[in-house]
Homo-oligomer: A and B are copies of this chain.
Amino acid sequence: MTHAIAILGASGYTGAELVRLISTHPSMRIAALSADRKAGMQMAEVFPHLRHLDLPELVRIEEIDFSAIDLVFCALPHATSQAVINDLPDTVKVVDLSADFRLRDLDEYAKWYGKPHSAPDLQKRAVYGLTEFYRDQIRNARLVAGTGCNAATGQFALRPLIAAGVIDPDEIIVDLKAGASGAGRSLKEHLLFAELFENIKGYSLGGTHRHLGEFDQEFSAIAGRPVEIQFSPHLVPATRGILITCYLRGEPETVHDTLADAYRNEAFVHVLPMGQTPAMKDVRGSNFVHIGVVADRKPGRVTVIATLDNLTKGSSGQAVQNANLMLGEDESAGLMLAPLYP
């Protein structure tokens, strides 16, 4: 059976990535694509690399007949998503890629995003979309909130360790390096080629990055008490990819074993042998996560490094993985594409 898919906000990078993944998916078919400002254009005009595909024309959201749609991927900007999804018929399942439904506490939402949530009832029923940890709820959800790409990377490295109590939750530092595509196709000076090339710079430092809302929510829930991490994101001269270096307190072997056990049966999360660490390009264009553990020369200190592709496992790949579950398909359907290397 083939599921009819609509992608709202198809003219951004996550939209294009969804089209890429669905184009070879065995049981999904793209039935509608929206892009308000580019309505009337062909996808190949916006993304010429998709020229080989027979795709519907870009339309405005209100032109879509949602009665013919099984599942919607909503790749709209934050704040816009909640209004649009609130208006969708109940018959359609939704995977949202924005930040709008990630935070369960409405005060936390208002704190991190600067204004009250406009669809609080919907918010309550949304399921957090980190597939490997919310699988059962996702399977039965109508609305799944895709995680932040940075937040996903940190959680893959840290959730099992906090859950098992093998690291000190008050001593967690995450140094993150992220490529430019995480910021989308938006026209900002620091995203210009001439600016970012041969450059690295921290941003949203000191505890101000919005993905901390997710980290706080999830890690506190796991630990059963408030957990606040330190988190320093850096923009690096690469297009795709996030690599984090986590500075932790715990016994290195225990940390490694805990992670290896946690992901032993996961198709997409790979823990490297003790002492080996991953390279960002090793997962580029794929839905895989690579995690490595290194003991420090100082006893009781351990470094965990994790990497994923922000557009695939960090957003659109995760979204397809969740949609697979929601549609009763095999979780990895269409997602076993090997990374592009070199």
Q: Which residue of the partner chain B has the closest CB to A205? A: B294
Interface centre among A52, A200, A232, A340 (most CB of B within 10 A): A200
Given the known interface contacts A232-B303, A238-B200, the answer about A52 and B270 at a Cβ–Cβ threshold of 8 Å is: yes
Within 8 A of B (CB), among A166-210: 173, 175, 177, 179-181, 185, 187-189, 191-202, 205-208
A27, CB-defined interface residue at 8 Å: no
Q: A247 and B277: CB pair below 8 A? A: no
Taken residue by residue from 47 to 90, chain A's Cβ proximity to chain B (1 for < 8 Å, 0 otherwise) reads as: 11111110000000000000000000000000000000000000
Q: B277 and A342: CB pair below 8 A? A: no
A253, CB-defined interface residue at 8 Å: no
- How far in angstroms is the closest Cβ of chain B from A53? 7
Cβ contact of A237, chosen from B49, B237, B290, cutoff 8 A: B237
A219, CB-defined interface residue at 8 Å: no
Q: B194 and A16: CB pair below 8 A? A: no
A339, CB-defined interface residue at 8 Å: yes
- How far in angstroms is the closest Cβ of chain B from A92? 25
Given the known interface contacts A49-B282, A198-B284, A338-B24, the answer about A238 and B239 at a Cβ–Cβ threshold of 8 Å is: no
Given the known interface contacts A51-B282, A206-B295, the answer about A241 and B198 at a Cβ–Cβ threshold of 8 Å is: yes
Q: B206 and A294: CB pair below 8 A? A: yes
Copies in the complex: 4
| A294 to B272 CA separation, bound complex (whole angstroms) | 34
A103, CB-defined interface residue at 8 Å: no
Given the known interface contacts A173-B247, A191-B192, the answer about A341 and B284 at a Cβ–Cβ threshold of 8 Å is: no
- How far in angstroms is the closest Cβ of chain B from A37? 13
A314, CB-defined interface residue at 8 Å: no
Q: A237 and B238: CB pair below 8 A? A: yes
| A208 to B217 CA separation, bound complex (whole angstroms) | 36
Given the known interface contacts A51-B282, A185-B189, A338-B24, the answer about A247 and B230 at a Cβ–Cβ threshold of 8 Å is: yes
Taken residue by residue from 238 to 250, chain A's Cβ proximity to chain B (1 for < 8 Å, 0 otherwise) reads as: 1111010101000
Q: A198 and B230: CB pair below 8 A? A: no
Cβ contact of A243, chosen from B200, B283, B288, cutoff 8 A: B200
Taken residue by residue from 293 to 317, chain A's Cβ proximity to chain B (1 for < 8 Å, 0 otherwise) reads as: 0111110010101010000000000
Q: A297 and B191: CB pair below 8 A? A: no
| A303 to B306 CA separation, bound complex (whole angstroms) | 21
Q: With a CB–CB cut-off of 8 A, which chain B residues contact A272?
A: 48, 51
Interface centre among A180, A192, A205 (most CB of B within 10 A): A192
Q: With a CB–CB cut-off of 8 A, which chain B residues contact A193?
A: 180, 191-193, 195-197, 237, 239
| A282 to B268 CA separation, bound complex (whole angstroms) | 27
Cβ contact of A341, chosen from B49, B52, B232, B290, cutoff 8 A: B49
- How far in angstroms is the closest Cβ of chain B from A329? 16
Cβ contact of A47, chosen from B290, B296, B341, cutoff 8 A: B341
Q: A51-B288, A52-B286, A200-B243 are in contact. List 4 more A-B contacts (CB 8 A).
A: A16-B341, A177-B236, A200-B236, A201-B277
